[in-house]
Amino acid sequence: MISGFLRGACFAAAILTAGSAWAQESSNRVAADTDWSVFVEDDPKECWGVSAPKETRIVDSNGNPTTGRRGDILLFVFYRPNAGVDGQVTFTGGYPFAGGSTVTLQIGDSSYELFTEGEWAWPATPEDDTRIIAAMKRGATATLRGRSGRGNQTIDQFSLLGFTAAVEEAARRCA
């Protein structure tokens, strides 16, 4: 098991790569299946499935709908063979999460906790990643709830149509 600190450090380094890679969408997107796309980087070798939400909402601390500015909202599953990463779930909400907060990921009747740092959230362990990916393969939607530093709650719903094909393609390309 990777320690929380080491996992976080690896995650932070990977996000820098993913952010620039996402910006280069036209040059490294290798597949798309329904609501999910697959991207590949060669140096270092990295493959991922990614999707944008179908629906987003923001509510204030009283539960009333509100508005806010957000950057990219994306749900990823990464494969990095040189770093020993074999399916790492990551989420960016497009805003800095409240310090010390978590994001709740709901798939069907199952709920998972993702830890946050800045604009990113991820599960605590590789075993959690494995459980979440299995649930995503069986599910139809994934709903992520996060909290901003202003106290607003975001609710982002992702379709899981094409998820299985995308993560299997990403895994195959990084095998």
Q: What is the pLDDT of residues 97-151, one digit of tens each?
A: 999 999 999 999 999 999 999 999 999 999 999 999 999 999 999 999 999 998 9
In which domain, by residue range, is 144 found? Answer: 4-173
40-62: average pLDDT: 95
Does residue 165 carry a pLDDT above 80?
A: yes
Residue 24 pLDDT: 41
Residue 27 pLDDT: 59
| Total domains in the fold of the chain | 1
Say which DSSP state 98 is in: P
* The Cα angle at residue 107 between residues 151 and 65, in degrees rounded to 5: 30
Average pLDDT, the chain: 87
CA pair distance 126, 60, nearest whole angstrom:
33
End-to-end CA distance of the chain: 20
Cβ neighbours of 117 (radius 10 Å)? 14
Does residue 77 carry a pLDDT above 60?
A: yes
Please state the φ and ψ torsions of residue 30, each to the nearest 5 degrees: -110, -15
Of 132, 138, 76, whose CA–CA distance to 104 is shortest?
132
pTM of the model: 0.85
Residue 8 pLDDT: 44
Residue 52 pLDDT: 97
105, containing H or E segment = strand 102-107
Residue 41 pLDDT: 93
103, containing H or E segment = strand 102-107
Residue 33 pLDDT: 79
Whole-Å CA distances, 42 to 16, 100, 144, 169:
15, 34, 30, 15
Sheet holding 85-92, edge to edge: 29-33, 36-42, 45-51, 74-80, 85-92, 120-122, 110-117, 102-107, 141-147, 153-159, 55-59
31-47: average pLDDT: 91
Helix axes 163-173, 126-138, angle to 10 degrees: 140
CATH number of residue 102's parent domain: 2.60.40.1880
